[in-house]
Amino acid sequence: MDIKAIVKRLISKYGTNDPFRICDLRDIRVLDEPLGNILGYYNMIRRIPMIHLNECLWDNFGLRQFVCAHELGHAVLHPKLSTPYLRRNTLFSVGRIEREANAFAVELLAPDEAILAAGCSTFQEVAATFRIPDEYVMLKRVDFFML
Residue 143 has pLDDT above 70, yes or no: no
Residue 29 CA to residue 16 CA, distance in Å, equals 18
Nearest to 23 by CA among 59, 82, 78, 73: 73
Q: Are 3 and 76 in contact (CB under 8 A)?
A: no
Instruction: Kindly report the average pLDDT of the chain as a whole number.
Output: 89
**CB-CB contact of 138 with 123 (8 Å):** yes
Q: Helix or strand or coil: residue 54? A: strand
Mean pLDDT of 52-77: 95
25-48 confidence digits (pLDDT tens): 999 999 999 999 999 999 998 999
Over its C-alpha atoms, the chain yields an Rg (Å, rounded) of 15
Q: Bridge partners of 41? A: 52
User: Quick one: pLDDT at residue 147?
Assistant: 45
Neighbours of 102 (CB within 10 A): 21
pLDDT at 94: 65
Q: According to the model, what pLDDT value does residue 13 have? A: 98
**Do residues 142 and 113 make contact, with C-beta atoms less than 8 angstroms apart?**
no
Do β-strands 40-45 and 48-54 pair in parallel, antiparallel, or remain unpaired? antiparallel
What percentage of the chain carries pLDDT values higher than 70? 87
